[in-house]
Amino acid sequence: MGEPKLIPLAIFPLLFFVISTSSLHLLTASDADDAIFYESFDEAFDGRWILSDKDEYNGVWEHAKSEGHEDYGLLVSQKARKYAIVKELDEPVSLKDKSVVLQFETRLQNGLECGGAYIKYLRPQEAGWKPKEFGNDSPYSIMFGPDKCGATNKVHFIFKHKNPKSGEYVEHHLKFPPSVPSDKLSHVYTAILKPDNKLQILIDGEEKKKANFLSSEDFEPSLIPPKTIPDPEDKKPEDWDEREKIPDPNAVKPDDWDEDAPLEIVDDEAEKPEGWLDDEPEEVDDPEATRPEDWDDEEDGEWEAPKVTNPKCEAAPGCGEWKRPMKKNPAYKGKWHAPLIENPAYKGIWKPQDIPNPDYFELKKPDFEPIAAIGIEIWTMQDGILFDNILIAKDDKIAASYRETTWKPKFFVEKEKQKEEDSDTESSGLASIQKKVFDLLYKIADIPFLSAYKLKIHNIIEKGESQPNLTVGILVAVVVIVLSIFLRAIFGGKKTPARVVKTDTPATETSTSQGDGENEEDKEEETSKAPRRRVKRDN
């Protein structure tokens, strides 16, 4: 019998995706009856979702495929636009006395630097809004989803609640919400509202936040007002002393305390360093500078040579007028202050007395308004935001099955593709580094004192370019060669002093053992003058 053939590892992601997507219809078909609302965007949204007619919402929505998939979604197609679109539910969904799960997917295909990708769950139209006029002011019960811009980076959960005392609707924001995933993959956001006042926020099926709707630790402002508040009419008495410590009234400044003594004094023991050049300025005119031929005194002002450091000062301890340095004054004490003592009249930090809060009310559970429509109303600087698989369900088991069948297969494929792209990027980055290393080695080989070894170094570099995995070894080899030559030049033994012969031949024409051509070129570089500078004198 022949040996069994191994299945390539690369086939497993594809196989997983095919199996998952093929079972999608079977699972969702059984769950669809349990879902209160579900939008897959498999079909075009025209005629089913209503676009806002308001002029400010000029962003164009598209029915488009998610990159790398055959799965469709609702796409934000333009940058720096406002978008508004709404879908009415067949029947309002009550958020009271039972669990409700809000779930949807987003994919930030071009990232998200500044913009929103959240959903608003709207109250019935009796609250005062119309689908064609849907906008920022349309009343909602819950706003949920990612938002990122500047210092803002969070998955919002905001609910509006009617204050039973005032009758006004107040926004209550979740404290310390989770942050938005920073990649460009598909993510699924889930909010689970339970009848025991508990809230769970999941991202990709993983719990990121737990909260209680009635807790002041979880929502700002608190749903239930405090029982007492500071009395706004209470005023601090004029004789109330909040100073815990005071200057000692019996303390007396010592007779020898000199407040006028300076912090520093001249060091009279200092002596001028030997060789100090008193008559030499620190800077002199550049002797090599010449007046440019196109200089115009009337237009450019009187020409003055630029200043350079006085070469005489470089060899001396200093130039110009010598002055004794300053030193710390041992007699310095500064301003005298009386020491602090405990204040016998101290009464503590004053605060107004508490009184019963006239706006206080008790509440056993939130009085949520029902959800009658789902709206997306956002402003964003990015395009490529894709909404998909919007779900309202009775419990998380239904939502979990949708995550398994609609989100996870896509996420798995996207994750594998990202790994491949990251690997290609790393390889490209390594190739770029290797090129820079080889370019540097070529420059090292061109150093004049390595001319005798230039060909050898070039051969090593060319070998490294043909086998990039040897880069580190090649670099070490060249460094060893250079170091060996350097050490030989320093410790290679005494050489017979060269006899100096006076000649009329210019220094630039004198040859050395390293080759006439290279030495002549080096000398020309050394003797070349710096470019002339034009200095305009201030009028």
pLDDT for position 466: 66
Radius of gyration over every alpha carbon of the chain, rounded to an integer in angstroms: 40
Contact (CB, 8 A) for 228 and 356: yes
Contact (CB, 8 A) for 114 and 97: no
Contact (CB, 8 A) for 190 and 100: no
pLDDT for position 489: 62
Best CA proximity match to 169, nearest among 360, 369, 359:
369
How many angstroms separate the CA atoms of 117 and 379, rounded? 9
How many angstroms separate the CA atoms of 25 and 42, rounded? 12
Contact (CB, 8 A) for 261 and 333: yes
Name the packing angle between helices 454-466 and 471-491 (round to 10°): 170
The pLDDT tens digits of the residues spanning 273-286 come to: 999 999 999 999 99
How many angstroms separate the CA atoms of 22 and 20, rounded? 5
The pLDDT tens digits of the residues spanning 445-480 come to: 777 767 677 677 777 777 776 666 666 676 677 677
pLDDT for position 19: 41
Contact (CB, 8 A) for 393 and 101: yes
The pLDDT tens digits of the residues spanning 307-335 come to: 999 998 988 999 999 999 999 999 999 99
Query: DSSP readout, 234-267?
Result: ----TT----SEEE-TT----TT--TT--SEEE-
Burial category of 466 from C-beta neighbours within 10 Å (exposed 0-12, middle 13-18, buried 19 and up): exposed
The pTM score is 0.62
Q: What's the N-to-C CA distance of the chain in angstroms?
A: 101
pLDDT for position 488: 67
Identify the segments of the chain with pLDDT beneath 50: 1-31, 493-539
